[in-house]
Amino acid sequence: MKTLEFFNSFTYKRKQFSTECFSFIKSENFRYYKTKHSWHLVDPSPWPLIAALGAFFLTSGGVLYMHNYYGGNHLLNIGFFMIIYVMFTWWRDIIREATYEEQHTFAVQRGLRLGMILFIISEIMFFFAFFWAFFHSSLAPTFNIGGIWPPAAINALSASGIPLTNTFFLLTSGATVTWAHHAILVRAKKQSIIGLLFTILLAIIFTALQGLEYITAPFSISDSVFGSCFFMATGFHGFHVFVGTCALIVALFRIVLNHFTATHHFGFESSAWYWHFVDVVWLFLFAVVYWWGGSH
Residue 19 has pLDDT above 80, yes or no: no
**Distance of alpha carbon 200 from alpha carbon 158, whole angstroms:** 26
Q: What is the mean pLDDT of residues 80-93?
A: 94
* 8 A C-beta contact, residue 162 and residue 207: no
* pLDDT at residue 102 is higher than 60: yes
Q: How far apart are CA 192 and CA 205, in angstroms?
A: 20
Find the angle CA(212)-CA(276)-CA(290) to the nearest 5 degrees: 40
For the entire predicted model, the pTM comes to 0.81
Residue 35 confidence class, pLDDT cut points 50, 70, 90: low
Under 8 Å between Cβ of 113 and 266:
yes
What pLDDT is recorded for position 36?
65
Check residue 157 and report its DSSP letter: P
| pLDDT at residue 10 in the model | 43
CATH of domain 107-290: 1.20.120.80
- How much is the pLDDT for 158? 86
Could you tell me what percent of the chain has a pLDDT over 70?
87
State the DSSP string of 14-56: HHHHHHHHHHHHHSGGGGGGS---S---PPP-SHHHHHHHHHH
Characterise 142 by phi-psi region: left (phi > 0), alpha (psi -120 to 50), beta (else): beta
Secondary structure letter of residue 156 according to DSSP: P
* 105 pLDDT higher than 90: no
Q: How far is Cα of residue 77 from the mean position of the Cα atoms in its chain? A: 22
- Span 180-192, pLDDT tens digits: 999 999 999 999 9
| Confidence band for 11, pLDDT divided at 50, 70 and 90 | low
Quick one: pLDDT at residue 109?
87
Query: For residue 218, what is the DSSP state?
Result: S
Proportion of the chain above pLDDT 90, given as a percent: 61
CATH of 44-103 among 1.10.3720.10, 3.40.50.300, 2.40.240.10, 1.10.287.70: 1.10.287.70
Q: What is the pLDDT of residues 250-295, one digit of tens each?
A: 999 999 999 998 888 999 999 999 999 999 999 999 999 999 877 6
The helix/strand/coil state of 283 is helix
pLDDT, one tens digit per residue, over 218-240 is 888 888 889 899 999 999 999 99
Are 165 and 282 in contact by the 8 Å Cβ rule? The answer is no
Ranges of each domain in the chain: 44-103, 107-290
In the predicted structure, residue 174 carries a pLDDT above the cut 50: yes
**Comparison of pLDDT for 22 and 52, the residue scoring more:** 52
Residue 191, pLDDT score:
94
How far apart are the C-alpha atoms of 221 and 207, rounded to whole Å? Answer: 18
Contact 134, 233 (CB under 8 A): yes
Amino acid residing at 55? A
Residue 140 pLDDT greater than 90, yes or no = no
What would you measure as the largest C-alpha separation in the chain, in angstroms? 117
What is residue 6's predicted lDDT score, i.e. its pLDDT?
41
Give the separation between CA 70 and CA 61, rounded to whole angstroms.
Answer: 10
- Residue 58: pLDDT band with limits 50, 70, 90: very high
Of the candidate ranges 11-20, 102-111, 116-125, 265-274, the one whose mean pLDDT is the lowest: 11-20
Report residue 293 CA to chain centroid gap: 30
What is the chain's mean pLDDT, rounded?
A: 86
Can you give the pLDDT at residue 160?
A: 87
φ, ψ dihedrals at 217, nearest 5°: -65, 135
